[in-house]
Amino acid sequence: MPAPEIALTQRFQTAFAAAFGPEFADADPIIRPSQFADFQCNAAMGLAKRLGRKPRDIAAEILAAVDLEDIAETPEIAGPGFLNIRLRTDWVAAQAAELAADARLGVSVPQSPDTVVLDYSAPNVAKEMHVGHLRTTVVGDSIARTLEKLGHSVIRQNHIGDWGTPFGMLIEHLLEVGEDSPEADQLRTDPNAFYQAARAKFDAAEQAGSGDADAEGADFASRARRRVATLQSGDAESLRIWTNLVDLSKQYFHRIYDMLDVTLTDEHLAGESTYNDLLAAVCDDLETAGIARISDGALCVFPEGFTGRDEQPLPLIIRKSDGGYGYATTDLAAVRHRVRDLGADRIAYVVGAAQELHFQMVFASTREAGWLPEDVEAQHVKIGSVLGEDGKILRTRSGSSLRLMALLEEAVATARTVIDELRPDLPEAEREKIAHDIGIGGVKYADLSTAHDSDYTFDLDRMLALTGNTAPYLQYAVARIRSIGRKAAAQGITAAAAPRVDNDAERALALALLEFGPTLEAVGAEYEPHRLCAYLFSLAQAFTSFYEASPILKESDEQVRAGRLALAQLTERVLVEGLDALGVNAPEQM
């Protein structure tokens, strides 16, 4: 189903080849939305440069060569050589009819689907998921959903932090409080409290005098240190307690994922510990290949193009001088696994912007090692920070990051007061469901509608507002169309097979609908859900203008009414599909 840009591009490229020679057959016609018409072709200026001729002459030649008869009225040359194109309304109508008949809503099937390994969410065991993890989770899930709708195959990898030195302390604390104690249960409900308690014990012990085996507290710290060593040496009892710790944490993650309607499940867990057995080989292979070398006792890769202060090459440390492996080593192992074993055509990491250098160095190192071939695209989808109203990174007053679950519960509770006021007539259970969809949808959408690498301010009132670029605005648009549909059905009105595209508002709405496919494709290629949000927002606005200009149920002409109903219902399908790609539910009514 060709969107206008695609159809126009084909026609112009044929014209370029005919007018200027076959080597111009794939020149970009630079089709852009126009203020003066529907689209404009901006290619004449560039082509004129290439051909050493005047842009307006080139524009005239393009005009003479291009065959747009069935698509558009005769273009006009404007300014230095722009071609303004107004599409024929009957052509737009035919495209809209095709769109309505298309189950994929104009999303083209990829010529060769990609296997995309997508690393997202990645919270840490025995720690509270903070709002930063909210973003990596929500943005990542939307990218996964989008890629799947486009026809790619997505392998989700939840690279949780489930290994490292804090686990000695956590295991010892779990043993002390008892594995079935209420304190242990905090791992499922309030992991930060558990972590803080363990940390406090550890710090107190250190203060009391590290290594002093007689002091009660100091004993905890040395036990914690010993525990890390026994855990890493594969001691069965340590591993059992560690597994328990991870299991309790998983339950916490899944409570959050359920609350957020996020598609991650246990089968997507591939935490840092997954790679334990591969780390020695990663180091050996890189050393043998001459990619890594010992520097100050540590094994390091110095990928080309990374320098620190004094222009010194920057190391990626993969084995510390004490023999331990770190975060970087697991990521090198993960790249190799994802490309070699999982067959990735693309790998992407939805992770905080602060880790940019880490990922650039991991990608560069694995390219040098040949583990990340040139034809496999690697991308760090950088996530910005969530700020409080004071413009600083969102934290509670005590200084620890805000509890995510409490935040989500507050969003749902606020949405509940809104819907209770708006629709007291609806049954209790229904209002509860709608409050969930609005509250969670509002939070997720606020995250998604900001460019993923910019910071944004967490403002619940704005997120849940019924006006502006918000989830509730879009959800309300859907609910309104559904309500029209219910009324139509009650009056025995059925929609036409083809949407009506005649007056300006209908035409503008139809043109907006035709952009869904190309928009979704761009979002999947660039990992930019905010572009989908912007699109859906403008689509909902086009619907509002259409509905003001073109009444549906009040229209007396039966054919017009049926055609407009079809246009409204096509809009509903696109809005719902778009919201689904974002992971936002659309309630039946509001």
Residue closer to ligand ARG by CB (options 130, 201) is: 130
Closest separation in Å from C-beta 306 to ligand ARG: 18
Output 133 or 431, the one with its CB closest to ligand ARG.
133
Q: How far is the CB of 407 from ligand ARG (least distance, A)?
A: 17
Question: Distance between CA atoms of 78 and 168, rounded to whole angstroms?
Answer: 72
We find the least distance from the C-beta atom of residue 370 to ligand ARG, in angstroms, to be 20
Query: Tokens 């110095």 appear where?
Result: 302
Nearer residue to ligand ARG within complex by CB, 117 or 520: 117
Cα 374 from chain centre: 24
Token code pair at residue 20: 């200027």
Report which of 2, 10, 1 is spatially closest to residue 41, judged by C-alpha positions.
10
Structure tokens at 392: 């600083």
Identity of the residue, 164 or 587, whose beta carbon is nearer to ligand ARG in the bound complex: 164
| Shortest Å distance, C-beta 269 to ligand ARG | 12
| 8 Å CB contact between 351 and 136 | yes
* Angle between the N-to-C axes of helices 516-526 and 504-514, in degrees from 0 to 180, rounded to the nearest 10: 30
Question: Contact 399/250 with Cβ under 8 angstroms?
Answer: no
- Tell me which long-range contacts 76-81 makes (C-beta under 8 A, separation of at least 24): 76/37, 78/36, 78/40, 80/44, 80/45, 80/55, 80/56, 81/44, 81/45, 81/48, 81/55, 81/56
CA distance linking residue 394 with residue 385, whole number of Å: 8
Closer residue to ligand ARG (CB): 161 or 191? 161
Question: What is the β-pairing status of strands 386-387 and 292-295?
Answer: unpaired
Shortest reach from residue 350's CB to ligand ARG, in Å: 8
Query: What is the number of the residue whose Cβ is closest to ligand ARG?
Result: 122
Q: 305 is written with which tokens?
A: 């193009």
From the CB of 467, what's the least distance to ligand ARG, in Å? 35
Count of Cβ atoms closer than 10 Å to residue 428 Cβ? 8
Considering the complex, what minimum distance in angstroms separates the CB of residue 122 from ligand ARG? 4
Nearer to ligand ARG, 380 or 561 (CB): 380
Residue 159 or 561: the one with the smaller Cβ distance to ligand ARG is: 159
- The helix (run of H) or strand (run of E) holding residue 32 is strand 31-33
Strand 153-157, strand 115-119: pairing: parallel
- Tell me the three state secondary structure of residue 282: helix
Q: Which is nearer to ligand ARG, 159 or 500 (CB)?
A: 159
- Which letter, b or e, does each residue of 265-285 get, where b requires 16 or more Cβ atoms within 10 Å of its Cβ? eeebbbbbbbbbebbeebbeb
Residue 119 vs 437, nearer CB to ligand ARG: 119
Contact 328, 317 (CB under 8 A): yes
Least distance (Å) from ligand ARG to the CB of residue 127?
8
Q: Which is nearer to ligand ARG, 118 or 513 (by Cβ)? A: 118
User: Which amino acid does the sequence have at 456?
Assistant: Y
Using CB under 6 A as the criterion, which residues of the chain lie in contact with ligand ARG when the complex forms?
119, 122, 124, 159, 161, 331, 334, 349, 351
Distance in Å, CB of 158 to ligand ARG, minimum: 9
Looking at beta carbons only, is 107 or 339 nearer to ligand ARG? 339
Report, in Å, the least distance between residue 54 CB and ligand ARG: 54
From residue 420, alpha-carbon distances to 259, 313, 413, 476 in Å are 20, 61, 10, 15
Is residue 559 exposed (0-12), middle (13-18) or buried (19+ Cβ within 10 Å)? exposed
- Tell the smallest beta-carbon distance from residue 113 to ligand ARG (Å): 24
Query: C-beta of 124: minimal distance to ligand ARG in Å?
Result: 5
Distance CA 362, CA 275 (A): 15
| Beta carbon nearer to ligand ARG, 124 or 450 | 124
First CA to last CA distance, the chain: 33
